[in-house]
Amino acid sequence: MVLFPHAKINLGLQVIEKRRDGFHNIISCLYPVGWCDILEVLEAGKLTFKTSGLNIPGSPEQNLCLKAYNLIRELHDTPPVHIHLHKVIPIGAGLGGGSADAAYTLIALKRLFNLSITNVELVGLAAKLGGDCAFFVEGKPALATGKGDKLEPVEITLPTGYLVVVVPPVAVNTADAYGMIHPKPSENDLGRSLSQDPMDWQQLITNDFEDRVFKQFPIIEKLKETLLKKGAVYASLSGSGSSVFGIYKNKHDFGSWFPEDYKIWVEKL
């Protein structure tokens, strides 16, 4: 079975408070993006895990795909599988690629072995693997609260045009980024702001990570400034970075100015 775990961007991200469990309560709108990894899950004689594509840091045994399999294995008598993850979504970019891979591993196992798990139960399992993993079970625009695992569907109307996601040649460690943040109560209603004209979003919708991440990585701040100068209706850091995205009405506005070592994703809205 082959599936295509997709990325996400954050339309606004407010860090509200630090929780007793070490996580943070947030408010954010998670929006699906078509930038995808490739995940193959096959029944096998023993559990194996292989990767290709972009290099994935850390021990393979700690990969979220294997954690997803072991989580399912605790609840269902599933046979061993071979998992092959071809990594395309940039790592340390705030695009949720690792979370997507974990959620899609759960989905693949459910389908492969016809497991009696409802989507609601699948969301609950995904939430155990990481804050935004639950989003990828449905993969539809959602207002995320709690540690990112409490999801409320939201209608988002982006202007007809293009979404451009740009990843500079730096990675931001999510845990380090949260360590730099000073949580504070929300100053505006993100859901209400998202219902406004996207032409006004730049003044209404913010990402709390920008100030700290921009100070540590000026290249990311310059990237956002460039996207806006090139005519983006709205531009923002995604998650804790390092990716920055821009929403454009016209393709010729953003052109092809990006340096060769930047990774780019463009999709029509």
Which amino acids are annotated catalytic? 8, 132
DSSP 121: H
DSSP 250: -
The sign of the dihedral angle between the CA atoms of 59, 64, 70, 73 is negative
The residues, any chain, with a CB within 8 Å of residue 238's CB and separated by 6 or more, are 8, 9, 10, 93, 94, 95, 165, 207, 244, 245
Distances (CA, A) of 267 to 20, 34, 93, 99, 263: 39, 7, 18, 21, 14
Evaluate whether 150 touches 144 at the Cβ level (below 8 Å).
Answer: yes
